[in-house]
Amino acid sequence: MSESSMIRPHATTAHHTSLGVDNRKLGVWAFIGSETLFFATLITTYFVFAPVNRARPDFQDPREFLDIELTTVLASILLASSLTMVLALSASKRGDRRWFTTWLLATVGLGLAFIGGQVYEFNHLYHEGLTLSSSLFGTTFFVLTGFHGTHVAIGVIWLLSVFFKVRTYPNSPENAMDVEIAGLYWHFVDLVWVAIFVLVYLI
């Protein structure tokens, strides 16, 4: 099978709306919009309860627990994964299966590295005495970062499903759009982490 046998992008219009926008892409944008509001609510809740947390007798100062060096590495990993996702999409549009596979699996690998780093961080915080129920800060912190980690895991599963679909049906006219839609979600979770990193870890 030729390395360039992936289908040319957007060869079908079966899934397009009357406005010329693929309805799957429109659906993902709507989902991203709702998830943006969801994370905005979680971040707002974190900041609303921050002064309340400081006044509580069980106050735990985040600066005593959070590892800025580790989370900087995790942020760099996700930013790098956005680049590899862009390169995977570019390769899929060119019909280059070899580089598509390389860059998409690199994105998956970086996503797994992020999840592994977050599991390590959670384990470290647990042994330091910061848990979901140890304080108000612990509750808001773990809910916010835990939900984001779950979204990254969903993204990894999504990317793997796209990879196996393209591998199984290399000539499908929907391949490029499938990659693009998965990429939109992946960039979203990357941007959410940047916001969390700046607002929770740095400020």
Q: What is the pLDDT along the chain (203 residues), one digit of tens a residue?
A: 444 455 444 444 445 555 567 788 899 999 999 999 999 999 999 988 887 777 776 666 777 788 999 999 999 999 999 999 999 999 999 989 999 999 999 999 999 999 999 999 999 999 988 889 888 888 999 999 999 999 999 999 999 999 999 999 887 888 889 999 999 999 999 999 999 999 989 88
Asked if residue 82 is part of any domain, the answer here is: yes
At 80, which helix (H) or strand (E)?
Answer: helix 68-94
Structural domain range at position 44 = 23-56+75-202
Residue 10, amino acid: H
Structure tokens at 186: 């992946």
Asked if residue 11 is part of any domain, the answer here is: no
Instruction: Give the C-alpha separation, 69 to 111, whole Å.
Output: 18
The pLDDT value given to residue 2: 42
The pLDDT value given to residue 64: 76
Number of domains the chain contains = 1
The pLDDT value given to residue 16: 56
Asked if residue 65 is part of any domain, the answer here is: no
**Beta bridge pairs of residue 22:** 16
Asked if residue 5 is part of any domain, the answer here is: no
End-to-end CA gap in the chain: 53
The pLDDT value given to residue 136: 83
Structure tokens at 149: 């980690």
Instruction: Give the C-alpha separation, 64 to 45, whole Å.
Output: 21
**Tokens 């892409």 appear where?**
25
Asked if residue 197 is part of any domain, the answer here is: yes
- Which residue blocks in 128-199 are alpha helix, DSSP H? 136-168, 175-196
Instruction: Give the C-alpha separation, 188 to 181, whole Å.
Output: 11
Instruction: Give the C-alpha separation, 162 to 11, whole Å.
Output: 17
Instruction: Give the C-alpha separation, 57 to 200, whole Å.
Output: 21
Q: What is the CATH number of the domain that holds 174?
A: 1.20.120.80
Asked if residue 63 is part of any domain, the answer here is: no
Asked if residue 130 is part of any domain, the answer here is: yes
Asked if residue 10 is part of any domain, the answer here is: no
